[in-house]
Amino acid sequence: GQNIDQPTEMTATEGAIVQINCTYQTSGFNGLFWYQQHAGEAPTFLSYNVLDGLEEKGRFSSFLSRSKGYSYLLLKELQMKDSASYLCAAVDSNYQLIWGAGTKLIIKP
């Protein structure tokens, strides 16, 4: 079956760095998305990886290892507004998104 695993909840301190991990098992693979979702709102796009390696975009970076079925989202210089759920979603062979349950990130001052 298809499966995405990511931690349920993480806590970090304002100004620090946090890494959110995601492992996936899918029928075929056509890339992996990270989305940010604030409570009561639709997800917003953060990153897309289809090739191995690290992609940096400002304070956020995303890494992918296709051979390990593993990705992480790295958030630097954490701000209070970064408190949200972070959703990992892999694209299967039918180009459908297989969603993880999301990681709730709590930022403390």
Partner 1 sequence: GAVVSQHPSRVICKSGTSVKIECRSLDFQATTMFWYRQFPKKSLMLMATSNEGSKATYEQGVEKDKFLINHASLTLSTLTVTSAHPEDSSFYICSAVSESSYNEQFFGPGTRLTVL
Asked if residue 1 binds partner 1 (CB under 8 A), the reply is: no
Asked if residue 101 binds partner 1 (CB under 8 A), the reply is: yes
Among the candidate windows 20-28, 30-38, 59-67, 68-76, which touches partner 1 by CB under 8 A?
Answer: 30-38
Our CB check for partner 1 shows the closer of 40 and 109 to be 40
Distance CA 43, CA 26 (A): 21
Residue selected from 10, 46, 74, 97 as contacting partner 1 according to rule CB under 8 A: 97
CB of 15 to partner 1, least distance (A): 27
Asked if residue 50 binds partner 1 (CB under 8 A), the reply is: yes
Read off the tokens for 107: 């930022």
Considering Cα of 14, then 106, then 82, then 96, what sign does the dihedral take? positive
Q: How many residues bind partner 1 (CB under 8 A)?
A: 21
Distant-in-sequence, close-in-space partners of 11: CB < 8 Å, separation ≥ 6: 105, 106, 107, 108
Distant-in-sequence, close-in-space partners of 37: CB < 8 Å, separation ≥ 6: 43, 44, 84, 85, 86, 87, 102
Asked if residue 44 binds partner 1 (CB under 8 A), the reply is: yes
Asked if residue 99 binds partner 1 (CB under 8 A), the reply is: yes
